[in-house]
């Protein structure tokens, strides 16, 4: 079990923010968990610790949004995400911790820049699209496997559809609930569920339902824009640090 107090200093807010996001509040910052933990432990270990906690959150989300999700979008996204997960598993032996730090950091940096500069086209997508959904679903599956950072690619595909907030949140919950379960066998084969990680999970997992329920409650009641600004600023700072660490380790800067 991890005993470093600095780990818990970052892990607790990481899990709370992830739960709020998975509950539908503060949308895209669910990918903050692994980057934040990666400041004090390896990103590979952080991903292994987060997966059981994410699955615990998923059951709360499935209950909360059991009637509010987009079936047509899930039919497109889930097969593609499965392919992305398989690709992530197949390439796991070739991806170093430095590569993961760099990838996770770049995802965070690009997503925050997109948010601030509003780079995505503002035209409304008429509905589910097989080509775009398959592309971004596969990317979401891969990045979710590597670092539980599937939120940004999912958002790139889903946000232009302008679904009601609750329907968007419910679709995200159902999508990532399925994705997280699909990731369990590969994580087992990669040895991510070792005794030390599981003991750490046991200490942190009580935060999962509490933060998830808080996210569901806030999604239905509280304006989100001020919280987005703070969350994306934090994500950008942390992601920039991870990019720097990844570049130094990869290229010897």
Q: Which two tokens stand for residue 18?
A: 């992830």
Using CA atoms in the order 195, 17, 150, 55, what is the torsion angle rounded to 10 degrees? 40
How many Å separate Cα 253 from the centre of its chain?
29
CB-CB contact of 120 with 247 (8 Å): no
Q: What is the pLDDT of residue 238?
A: 73
**Pure H helices in 190-224:** 195-204, 207-219
- Tell the residue number behind the tokens 């949004």, with chain if given: 65
Q: Which two tokens stand for residue 9?
A: 């200093």
Q: What is the pLDDT of residue 178?
A: 97
Q: What is the pLDDT of residue 44?
A: 79
Q: What is the pLDDT of residue 119?
A: 61
Q: Measured between alpha carbons, how far is 92 from 52 in angstroms, rounded to an integer?
A: 19
* Domain of residue 131, residue span: 5-251
Q: Measured between alpha carbons, how far is 155 from 242 in angstroms, rounded to an integer?
A: 22
Q: What is the pLDDT of residue 12?
A: 93
Burial (CB count <10 Å: 0-12, 13-18, 19+), residue 218: middle
What are the per-10-residue average pLDDT scores of the chain (253 residues)?
88 90 70 79 86 92 90 97 94 78 78 74 70 93 83 79 82 94 92 88 92 85 67 75 81 68
Q: Measured between alpha carbons, how far is 249 from 230 in angstroms, rounded to an integer?
A: 29
Q: Measured between alpha carbons, how far is 221 from 136 in angstroms, rounded to an integer?
A: 30
Q: Measured between alpha carbons, how far is 208 from 57 in angstroms, rounded to an integer?
A: 5
Q: What is the pLDDT of residue 82?
A: 97
Q: Measured between alpha carbons, how far is 114 from 236 in angstroms, rounded to an integer?
A: 11
Nearest to 23 by CA among 168, 126, 227, 161: 168
CB-CB contact of 219 with 25 (8 Å): yes
Q: What is the pLDDT of residue 87?
A: 94
**What number of other Cβ atoms are within 10 A of residue 199's Cβ?**
12
Burial (CB count <10 Å: 0-12, 13-18, 19+), residue 208: buried
What's the pTM value of the predicted model, to 2 decimals? 0.80
What's the number of domains the chain is made of? Answer: 1
């Amino acid at each position: 079990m991890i005993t470093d107090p600095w780990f818990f200093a970052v892990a607790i807010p990481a899990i709370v923010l992830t739960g709020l996001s998975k509950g539908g509040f503060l949308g895209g910052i669910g990918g903050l968990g692994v980057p934040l933990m990666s400041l004090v432990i390896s990103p590979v270990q952080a991903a292994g610790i987060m997966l059981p906690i994410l699955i615990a959150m998923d059951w709360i989300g499935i209950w909360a949004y059991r009637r509010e999700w987009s079936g047509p979008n899930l039919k497109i996204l889930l097969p593609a995400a499965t392919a992305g997960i398989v690709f992530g598993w197949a390439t796991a032996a070739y991806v170093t911790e430095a590569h993961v730090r760099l990838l996770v950091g770049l995802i965070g940096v690009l997503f925050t820049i997109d948010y601030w500069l509003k780079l995505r086209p503002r035209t409304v997508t008429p509905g589910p699209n097989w080509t775009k959904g398959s592309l971004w679903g596969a990317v979401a599956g891969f990045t979710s496997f590597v670092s539980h950072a599937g939120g940004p690619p999912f958002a790139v595909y889903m946000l232009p559809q302008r679904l009601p907030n609750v329907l968007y949140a419910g679709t995200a919950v159902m999508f990532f609930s399925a994705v997280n379960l699909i990731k369990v066998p590969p994580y087992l084969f990669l040895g991510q569920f070792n005794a030390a990680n599981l003991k750490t999970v046991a200490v942190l997992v009580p935060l999962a339902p509490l933060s998830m329920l808080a996210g569901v409650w806030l999604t239905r009641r509280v304006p989100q824009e001020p919280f987005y600004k703070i969350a994306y600023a934090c994500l950008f700072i942390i992601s920039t640090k991870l990019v720097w660490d990844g570049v130094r380790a990869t290229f010897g800067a």
